[in-house]
Amino acid sequence: MIATKVGTLKLNIVVLAAGFSSRLGQPKALARIHGVSLLRRTVTLAAALHAARIIVVVPAAAARYRAQARHRDVTVARNPYRSLGLSSSVRCGLEYAKYCPGVLLLPVDLADLTLRDLRRLVRRWQAAPGRTYATRMGTRGGAPLILPKRLFPRALRVVGDTGLRGLLAELPVAQREFIDLPSARFDVDTAVDLAAARRRWVASSPTLRLFP
């Protein structure tokens, strides 16, 4: 089973949920689709992988976020520096996960993300845990992505709001792989995106829906 292997290799998962969500007009982590918040849905996906540890990076005022992760075995990491951009949340998560051999960085706003696609990403990492595996986004890579421990020091030096895109672009081709994950194509940045995600949920097959 994939879950057993993930646990054996001690993959940690960092859920990035501390963003300001200024374009959406509300915290995207708390936005709901069919009554379930994006944060709750993402934590449920992470839990299904049975990783060694799940770290959820949230704003300093975290009460509402904690409520969405209830009954799940997670570590809540508060990020008081989220105004410094996405990289501050990446650094915060890595500080909690720095002793593991690999970290899966998982954005909270991928409303269509499936467990099947996440398992494909993890299987690639299992085959060669020293490499970096990222979601293909045109000619570049992005999250969800799995970062090996040897790159943690470089990731901790990244600043700004572009996450690890620059680091991924600098890696030699032999050290990284971009993988097509169809369910990671759509993120929720605006009210229009959220409405579209809700429509897709209504139109989707019940067997593809994942809820707590």
Classify residue 86 by its DSSP letter: H
For residue 26, give the 3-state DSSP assignment: coil
pLDDT score at 210: 56
Q: Which two tokens stand for residue 125?
A: 């990492």
Query: Average pLDDT of 32-56?
Result: 93
Q: pLDDT of 73-128, one tens digit each?
A: 899 999 999 888 889 999 999 999 888 999 999 999 999 999 999 999 999 998 89
Tokens standing for 28? Answer: 């995207």
For tokens 């915060």, the residue is 92
Number of domains in the chain: 1
Q: pLDDT digits over 144-186, tens only?
A: 999 999 999 999 998 888 778 889 999 999 999 999 999 999 9
**Domain around 31:** 2-208
- What CATH number did the domain enclosing 43 receive? 3.90.550.10
> 116-150 burial, b for 16+ CB within 10 Å, e for fewer?
ebbeebbeebbeebebbbbbebeeebbbbbbbbbe
